[in-house]
């Protein structure tokens, strides 16, 4: 069942401007404006926006999502390749975050053991 842009936005808990932005980016089609009344967005468009939002939640950028959407009719191997690249990037970020966590733990221990209030180990570690 088709719905107006405001109903689509409410249904998906997004802003109307988000729907318009997706249209400008070419991620969804803008329905034809009828002579009388409002544009009606088909269920397929609503589902496509759900897909976009879910992909964003998983960390895909809009450019990557556009690529995924363009691969919809292509072999799974091409989609798999994109997912593998994203997986590798996520693993690298996780590794970076683990290193950051370890460094912060060391700095926090130094702060706890710091008797000199005139300098801070965290600030000192950030200076060249």
**Number of compact structural domains in the chain:** 2
**Ramachandran angles phi, psi of 35, nearest 5°:** -60, -35
pTM confidence score: 0.68
42 shares its domain with 62: yes
Asked which of 73, 91, 111 is the last residue of a domain, the reply is 73
62 shares its domain with 105: no
**Residue 20 pLDDT grade (very low, low, confident, very high; cuts 50, 70, 90):** very high
**Residue 127 pLDDT grade (very low, low, confident, very high; cuts 50, 70, 90):** confident
11 shares its domain with 58: yes
- Let me know: does 19 contact 49? Beta carbons within 8 Å: yes
Segments forming the whole domain that contains residue 4? 1-73
pLDDT above 80 for 58: yes
């Amino acid at each position: 069942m088709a719905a107006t842009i405001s109903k689509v936005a409410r249904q998906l808990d997004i802003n109307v401007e988000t729907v318009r932005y997706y249209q400008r980016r070419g991620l969804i089609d803008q329905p034809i404006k009828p002579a009388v009344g409002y544009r009606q967005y088909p269920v397929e468009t609503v589902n496509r926006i759900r897909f976009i939002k879910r992909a964003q939640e998983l960390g895909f950028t809009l450019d990557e999502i556009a690529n995924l959407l363009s691969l919809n009719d292509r072999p799974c191997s091409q989609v798999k390749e994109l997912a593998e690249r994203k997986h590798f990037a996520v693993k690298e970020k996780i590794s970076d975050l683990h290193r950051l966590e370890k460094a912060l733990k060391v700095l926090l221990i130094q702060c706890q053991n710091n008797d000199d209030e005139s300098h801070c180990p965290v600030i000192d570690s950030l200076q060249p």
